[in-house]
A and B are shown apart, each in its own frame.
Chain A
Amino acid sequence: MPNTHDVLFRTLSDPTRRALFERLCREGEQTVGALTAEAGISQPAVSKHLGLLKRAGLVRERREGRQTHYNAQLSALAPLIDWTSQMTGFWQSRFNALEDLLKRMDQ
Chain B
Amino acid sequence: MNDTSTETLSVVVEREIPFPPEKLWRALTQPHLIEEWLMKNDFKSVVGHRFNLRGEWGGVLDCEVLAIEPHRMLSYTWDFAHDDAAYALKSVVTFTLTPTSSGTHLRMEQSGFRKTQKQACGGARAGWQKFFANLEQVVARID
Q: A37 at interface (Cβ–Cβ under 8 A)?
A: no
For residue B52, which residues in chain A have a CB less than 8 angstroms away from its CB? Answer: none
Chain B residue nearest to A28 (CB atoms) is: B1
Inter-chain contact count A-B, CB under 8 Å? Answer: 93
Interface of A: prevailing SS: helix
CA distance in complex: A92, B17 (Å): 13
Q: A10 at interface (Cβ–Cβ under 8 A)?
A: yes
Q: Judge whether A97 and B1 touch: CB under 8 Å.
A: no
> Which one of B40-48, B66-74, B117-125 contacts A?
B117-125
Kindly name the residue among B10, B37, B133 whose own CB sees the greatest number of chain A CB atoms within 10 A.
Answer: B37
CA distance in complex: A29, B108 (Å): 42
Interface of B: prevailing SS: helix
Known contacts A83-B114, A94-B38, A95-B13; A22 and B125 CB within 8 A of each other: yes
Q: Judge whether A12 and B128 touch: CB under 8 Å.
A: yes
Q: Judge whether A13 and B136 touch: CB under 8 Å.
A: yes
Q: Judge whether A84 and B9 touch: CB under 8 Å.
A: yes
Q: B135 at interface (Cβ–Cβ under 8 A)?
A: yes
Q: Judge whether A14 and B123 touch: CB under 8 Å.
A: no
For residue B92, which residues in chain A have a CB less than 8 angstroms away from its CB? Answer: none
Name the distance in Å between A95's Cβ and chain B's nearest Cβ.
5
Q: Judge whether A102 and B117 touch: CB under 8 Å.
A: no
Chain B residue nearest to A74 (CB atoms) is: B120
Q: B26 at interface (Cβ–Cβ under 8 A)?
A: yes
CA distance in complex: A106, B27 (Å): 12
A contacts, CB < 8 Å to B: 9-10, 12-15, 18, 21-22, 25-26, 28-29, 71-72, 74-75, 77-78, 81-84, 87-88, 91-92, 94-95, 97-102, 105-106
Given A13-B135, A105-B23, 7 more A-B residue pairs with CB atoms under 8 Å apart are A22-B125, A72-B1, A83-B114, A100-B37, A101-B37, A102-B24, A105-B27
B contacts, CB < 8 Å to A: 1, 9-11, 13, 15, 17, 19, 23-24, 26-27, 33, 36-38, 86, 89, 106, 108, 110, 114, 116-117, 119-121, 123-125, 128-129, 132-133, 135-136, 139-140
- 14 examples of A-B residue contacts, CB within 8 angstroms: A12-B132, A13-B132, A22-B124, A25-B124, A26-B125, A77-B120, A81-B120, A81-B123, A84-B9, A87-B110, A94-B37, A98-B17, A101-B36, A105-B26
